[in-house]
Amino acid sequence: MDLERIRIAVRHDLRSPLSVIVGRADLLLEGMADPLTPRQRHSVQAILRAAERIQDLLDEIVVHTTPDEPPDELPDELPDEPPDEPPDELPDELPDEG
């Protein structure tokens, strides 16, 4: 499997289900279902902490499988010639705006 396929799998196939897990766990903590007991709350918080660790690992995988691209920089020197030719005719005077 090449790096691009790994990166795509991480971004979509692994992150999507993880996002669902995090979202549902957040809803449980917010009390969208019945109120949680302290033990249940502790378990849901453990799920969220584990999910955060997995998300961090997935981010690292994406970073390390992304090809290096040159940064967008300005050229060291400007070209000698203008990029476009000026128009054939220019007005002698600008119109009054007053």
pLDDT in tens, the chain (98 residues): 587 788 888 888 888 899 999 999 999 999 888 889 999 999 999 999 999 999 999 888 888 877 775 545 555 555 555 545 555 555 566 556 55
Residue 89 lies in a domain: no
Residue 60, CA distances (Å) to 10, 20, 52, 64, 67 in order: 10, 20, 12, 6, 13
Residue 53 lies in a domain: yes
Give me the number of domains the chain comprises. Answer: 1
For the whole prediction, is pTM greater than 0.95? no
Q: Give residue for tokens 């070209």.
A: 79
Residue 52 lies in a domain: yes
Residue 7 lies in a domain: yes
Residue 48 lies in a domain: yes
The range of the structural domain enclosing residue 30 comes to 3-65
CB-based contacts of 29, cutoff 8 Å, min separation 6 = 36, 41, 44, 45, 48
